Structure 1
Amino acid sequence: MHVPLDTKTVSFASRLAVHGDRTAVITADGQLSYLALARQVAMAARRLGGQRRLVLLACTNSLDSLVIYLAALACGHPLLLVPAEHADSLIDAYEPDVIARGAGQLEIRRTISAHDLHPDLALLLSTSGSTGSPKLVRLSHENLQANAESIAEYLDIRASDRAPTTLPMHYCYGLSVVNSHLLRGAGLILTDRSVTDAGFWELFRTGRGTSLAGVPYTFDLLDRVGFADMSLPDLRYLTQAGGRLAPERVARYAAMGRRHGWEFFVMYGQTEATARMAYLPPDLAEAHPQAIGVPIPGGTFRLDPLPDRPGGDTGELVYAGPNVMLGYADGPADLALGRTVDELRTGDIARRATSGLYEIVGRSGRFIKIFGLRIDPRRVEDLLAQDGIAALCTGDDRELVVATTAAEARVRRLVARHCGLPARVVRVHRIAELPMLANGKPDYQSVGKLGSARPAPAPIDLCRLYAEILDHPGVTPEDSFVRLGGNSLSYVEMSIRLEQALGTLPADWHTRPIRELTRDLSGPAPRPDSRWRTLDTTVALRAIAIVLIVGSHIPVFMIKGGAHLLLAVAGYNFARFTLTSAARRLRTRHLGGGIARIAVPSMVWIALAVLVTADYAPANIVLLSSIVGERPGSADWHFWFIEAIVYIMLATLALLSAPGVDRAERSFPFAMPMLLMAAGLVTRYDLPNLAAHGKVPSALVVFWLFAIGWAAAKATTTPQRLLVTAAALATVPGFFGEPWREALIAAGLVLLIWVPTVPSLTSINRVAGVLASSSLYIYITHWQVFPRVDDVSRHLALVASLAVGIAFAAISARVERQLAAAGRRLARRWSTARQGRSPGGTGHALVTADAAVPPVASRSTE
């Protein structure tokens, strides 16, 4: 790649190709060599351009983000690295010239930078904590290179090493893993999976992982999944930073490593020092588990005396070294600054023990550290003041205590959102007047005493609720609905139960870890006597559609179009619950399970109907009537909808099983269904004139509706929603030649695209939930129910059809749970037998593990 001679770059990013054919990146989809990675970086560098500009990268643990990151460093563009969820606020604050988002999307806002960028400036990282402050750490090319070299030296990173990205790249600790391994030509196992996810360990083993990096919470998760009993033959060492790990746990992990043949490095760092300042040599960890260790190569410590502790071996820890930041940036004007600091005052009180090791014994500032997040209570006070709330804040490493005159629920929600903390660790106390000292200054000691004044309210046990509804053992706060195998059937009951427990749910609740559902809600939990609720639009449409279908078939009324609307809803739910960020194999397995849930009960019921009636042929049992042809005057057409949806989902399963298609869908999540919809219009309008050559399977005729629902779920911007709406309104009219029927479908599609929830009542939600979750089974059974009752009363026939379908749904769910339980028992027996053959086996804890990436660890900062 061409770089102007006067432009500074980072060596490990610009010299990737020197490592040749060594493996650089390993993902669930394959491997990438250093030469291949260098080519991708060079192409991205050309897209970024030759003019030095400020680039903001909304970062994820993906190959696209890694390539943009390295391209910016390699061609000298200062890079602002942020988590995707905080991108918008920092875009407003810093007005970047180029914005890079997921799937390699670049938004070129200017060809010439609007900023005066200092030649040494390489990287901007958010200061520790998540309070939305635009304060950034300015890092130089030398900072990044020097810290990577230092870390690689004391960890003895080798070209044969393979490190998984257990922490996010936008976090300095996670980024240091990337930098130090690329420096040495080692491999990165690129993943966003949690260590509680069985898929993580599968990738770790097949990728021959040699190390693991974690914050304290990561080690909680490792304990939970039985890490001590795992067989990891390639593991060389573990590293820990991002907050204090209890000394007894340090000693335990050090001893564990000694027994299993790997080393345990405890480390200390801050974003302001690029990443690392100290490490504890592994051979000293068992004897000195309370220590942070010694300075990293190239760095030095000194202890500045404290006014209240003159003399002695204790003082504020001050660090100096080539990895110390250039300084802070509070706004775009500061990007022109060069070095404004030469050393880092850590704010930690430390002592140097007789062993020569440094130990942290306290903090000089008011910062507190919870879940690895460094929180400034005064900043929290300022943020609340912007919302018109007077408050005083303090706390410790377990909780943030807030005294306020405002409503507790509102303050807790605001603080949790600003700080990125679980609501349960934000202790809010409403008092008549804020405590003040005699000199008029805040009385923080009195505020601190409130922390133990009364216990926090017991949190809702969402894990138990998930386990009950999804019939999944061992649910943890890190699990999410989609990771636990949730589907469109269980979604109905879960959404209604959660809405009753927590209030209005965020639109993406099904992809969020359980622990996040106790914070960042759009409203407070409802009062116990509150009747008003919201209802997910897909649930409402499914409930209404199935009543219209059965009622029109009896007929109680003639309002047609419900089945075709359900096809679009099926596409929408397919996109929500199957097309997640999970690996291709898990996505296809999930889709295969969804197909089985539709096909198996349908085939069982139709087989029974064939035995007791003359209405159907054997082809109906195996869902082939639309392929082999329907008998004249028969009822073979009754199950056209079941056949269509099964064929469509089988086709998508075949498509997504192809690695290239899977990658294309992840890269172009909206364009893919729009392209498929366009392909579906070929058969919707029968452009090849297939009807002239025989019967056309209904799946080919209606596929475009499924694709519209898929596209509606992936439409995230107003222009995209407008495009899907236009496609729906242009293609539905004329399909039946019945304007009212087409109007019903079009109206349902518009709701699906634009309105995620509709206002409702508690009683309506209960009824809609039962109907929606049973809609498939009602459709299957109603053909055999209403003809036996409609002579007595058509309305009674409608009620009976709904009731029998609901009962069949309950029976099917019970059978499915029993089969799943039997499968788990067999898996445990198999695992136990396998452990008996291999003493170092993984253990049964991972057999059913299927959890989301732990956002607590993902957002941990130092």
Structure 2
Amino acid sequence: MLSRSTELVECSRVPFAAGLAAHGERTALIVDGRDVTYRELADRVDAVVHRLGSTRRLVLITGGNALDPIVAYLAALAAGHPVLLVPGGNADTLAAMIEAYRPDVVVDDGRFDEHAPGTTHDLHPDLALLLSTSGSTGSPKLVRLSHDNVQANAEAIATYLDIRNTDRAITTLPMHYCYGLSVLHSHLLCGAGVVLTDRSVTEPEFWNLVRNHRVSALAGVPYTFDLLDRVGFADLDLSCLRYVTQAGGRLDPERVRGYTALGQRRGFDFVVMYGQTEATARMAYLPPELAAQHPDTIGIPVPGGSLRIEPVPESDDGAGELVYTGPNVMLGYATTPGDLALGRVVDELRTGDLAVRTDAGLYRIVGRRSRFAKLFGLRIDLQRVDAVLGDHGLVACCAGGDDQLVVAVVEADPRQVRKLAARASGLPEPAVRVVPVAELPRTENGKPDFRAVAALADRAPGDPSADGGPIDLSRLRSLYTEILATDGVTDDSTFVDLGGDSLTYVRTSVRLEKLLGTLPADWHTTPLRELAAAAGRPRRGLRTVETNVLIRALAIVLIVGSHLHLFALVGGAHVLLAAAGYNFARFNLAGSRGVRLRHTLASVARIALPSAVWIGGVVAVTGAHPLSSVFLLNGVFGPDAWTREWRYWFVEALVYIVLGIAVLLAIPWVDERERRFPFAFPMVLVVAGLLTRYQVIGPDTPTSQILASYVVFWLFPLGWAAARAVAVWQRVVVSAMALVTVPGFFHDEPGRTALVVGGLLLLVWVPRLWWPALFVRPVEVLAGASLFIYLTHFTVYPYLRDIDPWLAFAASLAVGVAYQQLWIGLGRLWGRWRPRSFGAPAVAGREPTGNPARTVTVTGTGG
């Protein structure tokens, strides 16, 4: 049965959605690198308006940061069809909303499904948009917003942010979330552009989009800023950025102050905002010029709105409930289809937040009326407990259980958390239940999920599933703690984030696979909890081994055996130089430019120090080498012809190559090019290295040509490119380069040429190999100690080869392993007493920016 009010002429519309064509040929949206002008967008919207018809209908749209759902959404707003916006890719929520509200039209990922030829609803003329509240995504309780609400809030935001038609925003939040939707509204209102992407701010591709399209506006919830800290946002070259906004929850005042100061240095405004879905997104904002002095406030009302504080009986500190009035206040709630016929039932919004007004005329949130728990006769302000824990550097969230206070905390000492929470709440310590988690439970909008926190109380202590998988995560954390000599391991840690290097990579991968059965190719960048969840069963009698690990183990065996003339298989060191570049790309290129530089210099130190100590000891005892060898300067001061001074050429070449690249990447322009072109960049270095490989430039050194660092340089970026080759065509390019450039380098040594080419092709095409389980541990030991075996074997085998060459061979390997263990022990001692960076503890679950304790090594072999 059709309703009585079905004609579109009887309803209002959202002006900015109906007037897109007025902005002409300006860019409205950027989708997959293609500009969609406002005129083209308007034409697409008109086509969908025609398809929706002249009868006003309830249109359910699955939101997404893509062209089709946005066109459908704008068409409905422009024509006056009420929109029920739900998350995309969530079949359960979609089904629940269809069942609860019986929409006339469903637009899912651009596909139209008409459930009724006209409409089965009585739709109020002012109704424009239905959204779930931020804390109840998927709930049948919806916020009813009018056309005036949507337009007024977009205008207010555009006014206080001073959005210009030259600005460009990028989607960092989901479209179905009112904050993400408000970014779209306010920029389209002003004729500005929006880059559509689902990329995370942790992905290099996201920042490539920001730079390529000169994005000037960035929006985020508190969790977004946690991620920005992890990727070294402060060091990114983002000269186009004009303003950064934050909403969706409280951001720690010190971080507000920090981002405000960063914005002042880098030329962007940092704007803290406050809002709720019931206010169509925004109610208050903190002017950037006031943020440094008042970082704990939400600021002032948005243009056109007003705030007041209404006293409440439960407050005894002068705080009251914050009440907002303005043209963006919702019409009311809907819980059934019948509520869609209702008009305005509220004139002001009682936010539920407790606030005070400061002497400066700014508003500060001090708690929430609904976030109180009654335990043991005490009324507990949960918001205040959260704030106290946050002030102590803890990432935590609390909720009221049946008979206890439940505190979810990210990797912290439960005893300390229990004491702090008990003191803040006034409860006895036994009434506080602390549950360590890998990360706080969050809603789809990135806000803390208080119901999920309360549900944590039902987990049995020690239950493996409580840690997120069938594997006991404490064992995995202990393994990382032991091998990486760090106390900062959480369930969300990755090997690379904790400073893993190619030496520890070997030990870690083998022992992890023993625990988990199999390892994915990207295990080193996968959080521990995901590794545990993906654990599989190994094949009987077989285990997989990383190809680069196997290469290192076999190469050092070939090097020592060839020097003892047990067999004649040479060329391993040159393969290892490529493997060094391969590992450099995997471990040293994460984080900001400053982090990269620190990691790379630390890598050089971890190669050079054990080398200089060993060679220095040999020189002191035997006088077998000049001092230039101790300081790895044989390539500068040593002879051109082959002598014993050239024995350590690999270490010397590696140190100078990595130092040169460190200097190169310290240049902001170069660093940005590498991030934008991760595969092309090392290939350009390969081409540059071929100039010295073919002696187009550089000194003529025919005798030691295959040993000089500037001559063998091209192999390092070739391995780097192999690690960056993700597409088949990229692997083909690297393979072709190896097949073309290696032949002829070793003159009349076809076996050596074949060994090097074969090793490079394995790196490119075969990331892992099945290996007899019995021999996996020896491979781990030899690969991990390969640098140390290389350093020591020149000194060991001459004393034993005349007695028994195989004894000399075994002794050379054993001494190298022992020397490695010595340095591991020294590293652990250093890790125990080294000073903390900046004298401040790390926040659990979040790495401090610029922690100098993190070190990464490039490789561990030579020959």
TM-score (norm 1): 0.58
2:685 paired with 1:676? yes
CA shift at 1:504, angstroms?
A: 2.5
Distance 1:9 1:806 in 2: 70
Take 1:169 and 1:544, find their aligned partners in 2: how far apart are those partners? 48
Q: 1:167–1:174: 8 Å Cα contact kept in structure 2?
A: no
Q: Evaluate the alpha carbon distance shift between residue 456 and residue 806 of structure 1 in structure 2; reply closer, same or farther with a 3 A threshold.
A: closer
Amino acid at match of 2:730: Q
Aligned residues of 2:641 and 2:703 also touching (Cα < 8 A): no
Which shows bigger deviation, 290-299 or 806-815?
290-299
Q: Identify the residue that residue 791 of structure 2 maps to in structure 1.
A: 780
- 1:279 and 1:541 map into 2 onto residues whose CA distance is 69
Once the two structures are superposed, the pairs formed by residues 98-117 of structure 1 within 5 Å of their partners are none
Deviates more, 1:785-794 or 1:632-641: 632-641
Alignment of 1:587-736 (within 5 A): 587-630=596-639, 634-688=643-697, 690-691=699-700, 698-736=708-746
Q: Is the 8 A contact 2:584 2:720 kept in 1?
A: yes
**Distance apart, 1:166 and its partner CA:** 13
Alpha-carbon distance between aligned partners in 1 of 2:78 and 2:822, rounded to the nearest angstrom: 65
Is the radius of gyration larger for structure 1 or structure 2?
Answer: 2
Task: Give 1:664 deviation, angstroms.
Answer: 0.9
Specify the code of the residue in structure 1 equivalent to 2:330: T
Q: How does 1:169-208 map to 2 (within 5 A)?
A: 169=173, 172=177, 175=180, 188=217, 194=226, 197=229
Question: Structure 1 pair 678/318, CA: closer, same or farther in 2 (3 Å)?
Answer: farther
Paired residue secondary structure (2:544): strand
Aligned partners of 2:547, 2:718: CA distance in 1, in Å?
A: 16
Deviations 1:82-128 (A, max 9, x none): xxxxxxxxxxx999999xxxxxxxxxxxxxxx999969899x99943
How many angstroms apart in 1 are the aligned matches of 2:509 and 2:710? 32
The code of the aligned residue for 2:544 comes to: T
In structure 1, give the amino acid aligned to 2:328: G
Pick from 842, 845, 851 the counterpart of residue 842 of structure 2. Answer: 845
Aligned AA for 2:616?
Answer: A
Residue number in structure 1 paired with 2:87: 128
User: Aligned pair in 2 of structure 1 residues 211, 493: CA closer, same or farther (>3 Å)?
Assistant: same
CA distance in 2, matches of 1:95, 1:281: 36
SS of the aligned residue for 1:534 comes to strand
Instruction: Specify which of 490, 495, 498 is matched with residue 484 of structure 1.
Output: 498
Q: The residue matched to 1:758 in structure 2 has which SS? A: strand
Q: Does the Cα contact within 8 Å between 1:198 and 1:849 map onto a contact in 2?
A: yes
- CA 1:200/1:718 → structure 2, altered by over 3 Å: closer, same or farther? closer
1:795 Cα shift?
A: 1.5
Q: Is 2:64–2:87's contact at 8 Å kept on the other side of the alignment?
A: no
Give 2:530's aligned residue.
Answer: 516
SS of equivalent residue, structure 2 residue 505: helix
Matches within 5 A, 1:357-756: 457=465, 459=467, 460-461=473-474, 462-519=476-533, 521=534, 524-526=535-537, 531-580=541-590, 582-630=591-639, 634-688=643-697, 690-691=699-700, 698-736=708-746, 737-756=748-767
Q: Which amino acid aligns with 1:135?
A: D
CA contact (8 A) 2:219 2:246 kept: no
Gaps of 5+ in 1: 16-40, 46-51, 58-67, 81-92, 99-113, 245-256, 267-277, 308-314, 322-342, 344-349, 362-397, 399-415, 428-449, 832-842, 854-862
1:149 aligns with 2:155: yes
Whole-angstrom CA distance in 2 between matches of 1:265 and 1:780: 61
DSSP 3-state at the match of 2:226? coil
Structure 1 residues 119 and 787: CA distance shift in structure 2, 3 A = same
Change in 2 beyond 3 A, CA 1:852/1:659: closer
Show structure 2 runs of 5+ residues with no match. Answer: 1-15, 45-62, 95-106, 112-127, 130-146, 193-214, 264-269, 279-289, 300-304, 355-366, 372-407, 409-440, 453-457, 468-472, 851-863
Greater relative contact order, per chain length (Cα 8 Å cut-off, separation 6+): 1
Measured in 2, the distance between the counterparts of 1:476 and 1:237 equals 32
Distance in structure 2 (CA, Å) of the matches to 1:306 and 1:126: 15
- C-alpha separation between the residues in 1 aligned to 2:798 and 2:714? 33
> 1: CA distance between counterparts of 2:632 and 2:334?
79
Change in Cα spacing, 1:748 to 1:259, as seen in structure 2 (3 Å) is closer
CA distance in 2, matches of 1:229, 1:169: 23
Question: For residues 293 and 712 of structure 1, do their structure 2 counterparts lie closer, same or farther at Cα, with a shift above 3 Å needed?
Answer: farther
The CA deviation at 1:512 is: 3.1
Aligned with 1:168 (options 172, 175, 187): 172
Where 2:744 maps in the other structure, the secondary structure is coil
Q: Is the 8 A contact 1:677 1:707 kept in 2?
A: yes
Cα contact 2:233–2:592 (8 A) shared by 1: no
The answer as to whether partners of 1:480 and 1:513 remain within 8 angstroms in 2 is yes
Whether the 8 Å CA contact 2:547–2:769 is kept in 1: the answer is: yes
Percent sequence identity over matched residues?
Answer: 34
Distance 1:240 1:515 in 2: 33
Aligned with 1:168: secondary structure? coil
Alpha carbons 2:322, 2:350 under 8 Å: kept: no
- Alpha-carbon contact 1:655-1:661 (below 8 Å) kept: yes
The Cα shift of 1:471 comes to 1.6
The residue number in structure 1 matching 2:294 is 261
Judging changes above 3 Å, is the alpha-carbon distance between structure 1 residues 488 and 351 closer, same or farther for their aligned structure 2 residues?
Answer: same
From the superposition, tell whether residues 478 and 211 of structure 1 become closer, same or farther in structure 2 (CA, over 3 Å). farther
Distance apart, 1:748 and its partner CA: 1.2
Residues 260, 292 of structure 2: 8 Å contact kept: no
CA distances 1:516-566 after superposition (whole Å, capped 9, x unpaired)? 3344x3xx4337x96432111111111111111111111221111110110
Aligned equivalents of 1:94, 1:170: Cα separation in 2: 7
Match of 1:691, SS? coil
State the alpha-carbon separation in 1 of the partners of residues 339 and 697 from structure 2. 79
Cα shift readout 1:658-693 (whole Å, capped 9, x = no counterpart)? 111111111111111111111211221223473269
* TM-aligned CA deviation for residue 279 of structure 1: 12
Preserved CA contact (<8 Å) 1:9 1:73: no
1:297 deviation in Å?
A: 3.9
Distance 1:78 1:542, change over 3 A: farther
Compared with structure 1, are the counterparts of its residues 739 and 7 closer, same or farther at alpha carbon in structure 2 (3 Å cutoff)? Answer: farther
Residue 429 (structure 2) aligns with: none
Q: Is the 8 A contact 1:564 1:745 kept in 2?
A: yes
Given the superposition, is the C-alpha separation of residues 689 and 293 from structure 1 closer, same or farther in structure 2, using an over 3 Å criterion?
same
**Quick one: which amino acid aligns to residue 128 of structure 1?**
P
Deviation at 1:797, TM superposition (A): 1.4
Counterpart position of 2:328: 298
Give secondary structure in 2 for the equivalent of 1:630.
coil
Deviation at 1:635, TM superposition (A): 0.8
Match of residue 410 from structure 1? none
Tell me: CA distance 1:685–1:296, structure 2 relative to 1, closer, same or farther (3 Å).
farther
1:616–1:634 Cα contact (<8 Å) kept: no
Matched, 1:815 2:826: yes
Paired position in structure 2 for 1:403: none
- In structure 2, relative to structure 1, the CA distance for the partners of 1:157 and 1:692 (3 Å cut) is closer
8 Å CA contact 1:292–1:358 kept in 2: the answer is no
Matches within 5 A, 1:784-803: 784-803=795-814
1:451/1:774 CA distance change after superposition, 3 Å? closer
Structure 1 position 484, deviation (Å): 2.1
Paired positions, count: 623
The 3-state SS of whatever aligns with 1:759 is: strand
Distance 1:731 1:630 in 2: 27
- How far apart, in 1, do the equivalents of 2:262 and 2:695 lie? 57
What are the within-5 Å matches in structure 2 for residues 80-91 of structure 1?
none
